[in-house]
Structure 1
């Protein structure tokens, strides 16, 4: 099965699989600053594609709603035009319709043209152990078509036992780790750094690794090129697929 992925910017990517069109964490604002309760986030680059150019989607996969680098003002406006928005349970409560809340390992079914796609929510931890009361709830997603290998979208998480459990349950053919080693308030990262991404590649031993969330924000500490250097040095380079923003990339799995 072929899968097409288009990086819009930051954590936002359009995934086309088996006739379904899914958008991850929508961010469509121009560069600017966002004052959160405990930190200011600065967006450095705008999206590589407009909402009009993206067109209709079948669902939005929203890992969490509480941080502007995963859901900015333009992203919130986009949610109102999406037929379905899958997110955390608390996030669905805050957002209201059409958001649907999923706990880890719960599933939702998408149907279109006689085809179905199963979306399974997966555990995620947005930083080191103990960060949950500060960072809030986050989920990832596994997309399981009727035929073909699943796709794993990590959401904002570090590598930990929850990610390893996803690998034990699903033999994913493509993995989209939210990388960039995001860092804000403390001397720790809130998303995967190069080591975490390599560990993710190790447990998903048959997957093509397609990182997102590596560009466009001032608090991202590592880039896609840092991942390229690390993967090449460790002999994993052939499994890393870097995306050029705005360019539709087809991956055969």
Structure 2
């Protein structure tokens, strides 16, 4: 047998092995069973009839839209892809965390710096947001930095269990490289336990529940950080069953600064309630992409994100800084790739809201001039 044939046979064997492993891993990637989740869900404020519920009436998809959705899937499935290459910036975090800054890694993955602490949100480093490594929405840009090169974290927060916000492989790598606790809405702890996260690194909270880094033994220099699980308007599910775990947004409050991580949510009165009880916020990270008129209750549009920022800042649209998330990384809807940021900027100008739009990997320090380039405009 020639060297070429031997190499080809070896490559074929490796390919088959990878395929088998990818298929074999699907059940694990889907997470914990319902029976493992239910004991933790029972007693939560929004849990009844074996499901979590939004406070406001909400539907995942507007009734009667099945036909139009099918047409969109056939005719507009590539509308959200850019024509050019999305630029990246290599993150270079300072040795000490800032008073208030954020690095956007893409989609809902951010690294928040607040009063000297570092908080990682919805970390997803995998190539696809799916239980399968073979199919499902794939990245439109690489992660700008390997997960192993992240600075030491003080906490990891998760908004909900959808694959584009909770990723098994990333969680396992964080257990390997970091020592920070995972703060999650009720029920998601079962997924983490299923993937080998130590019990002492899991904190599950209901809407309105708070924990401080002092409670976790992680406060330093006398400065504490209080993290609160706040109400969002969304849904959950990693398989055919829906709403078996809770979804949430998060308030992060230090001695001098406050940040709000929206995660993934429709517009809700809960923003005003959070702004009154926990704000005003110096920094809001709010989703602006993957919206559609057929699912308005669970994904807000760019104009609603600007409105939500004002709600979170005690009704003052000019307070703080809005940084958009949940756009540009995965093609999850039928709008144009850069449409969300264009609509958001128009609404922000009209409202008098300060906005910074970092490219993936770019760091925004609120005490410095925000990035002023329109890097997305020539990509399409």
Q: TM-score range by the shorter chain?
A: 0.7 to 0.9
1:28 and 2:125 equivalent?
yes
1:188 aligns with 2:289: no
Residues 127-142 of structure 1 mapped to structure 2, 5 A cutoff: 134-135=242-243, 136-142=245-251
Q: Which of 321, 324, 327 pairs up with 1:211?
A: 324
Q: Cα RMSD between the aligned structures?
A: 2.6
* Residue 95 in structure 1 maps to residue 204 in structure 2: no
> 2:163 is matched with which residue?
68
Structure 1 residues 18 and 230, CA gap change in structure 2 (3 angstroms): closer
Q: Aligned partners of 1:43 and 1:23: how far apart in 2?
A: 19
User: How do residues 89-238 of structure 1 correspond to structure 2 at under 5 angstroms?
Assistant: 89-96=186-193, 97=199, 98-110=201-213, 111-126=219-234, 134-135=242-243, 136-148=245-257, 150-169=258-277, 170-182=279-291, 187-189=294-296, 190-203=298-311, 204=313, 205=316, 206-220=319-333, 221=335, 226-232=340-346, 234-236=349-351
Structure 2 distance, partners of 1:83, 1:175, is: 23
Aligned counterparts of 1:187 and 1:140: Cα–Cα separation in 2? 22
Larger relative strand fraction: 1
Secondary structure in 2 matching 1:157: coil
Quick one: structure 1 residues 60 and 201, their matched pair in 2 at CA, closer, same or farther if it must change by over 3 Å?
same
Unpaired runs of at least 5, structure 2? 1-97, 194-198, 214-218, 236-240, 369-380
Cα shift at 1:3: 1.2
Partner Cα separation in structure 2 for residue 22 and residue 78 of structure 1: 16
**Contact 1:118 1:144 (8 Å CA) reproduced:** yes
Q: Measure the CA separation in 2 of the matches of 1:222 and 1:86.
A: 33
Check conservation: 1:41, 1:68, Cα contact below 8 A.
Answer: no
Cα deviation, residue 198, structure 1: 2.1
Give the secondary structure class of the aligned counterpart of 2:329: coil
Number of equivalenced pairs: 241
Structure 1 or 2: more helix by fraction: 2
Q: Is residue 303–residue 343 contact of structure 2 (8 Å, CA) maintained in 1? A: no
- Is 1:59 aligned to residue 166 of structure 2? no
* Cα distance in 2, alignment partners of residues 207 and 223 from structure 1: 26
Larger Rg: 2
Shift, 1:50, TM fit: 1.2
In 1, distance between residues paired with 2:115 and 2:337?
Answer: 30
C-alpha offsets along residues 209-237 of structure 1, whole Å, 9 cap, x if unaligned? 11111121110546565334443355246
Q: TM-score, normalised by structure 2?
A: 0.58
Change (3 A) 1:187 1:28: same
TM-score (norm 1): 0.84
Q: 1:43 aligns with which of 134, 139, 154?
A: 139
Residue 191 of structure 1 and its aligned partner are, at CA, apart by: 2.6
Q: How many Å apart are 1:23 and its aligned residue?
A: 0.3
Residues 1:102 and 1:222: Cα distance change in structure 2 (over 3 Å) = farther
Deviation, 1:105, is 1.2
CA distance in structure 2 between the partners assigned to 1:140 and 1:78 by the alignment? 24
- Which consecutive residues of structure 1, in runs of 5 or more, have no partner in the other structure? 128-132
Which of 357, 364, 367 pairs up with 1:242? 357
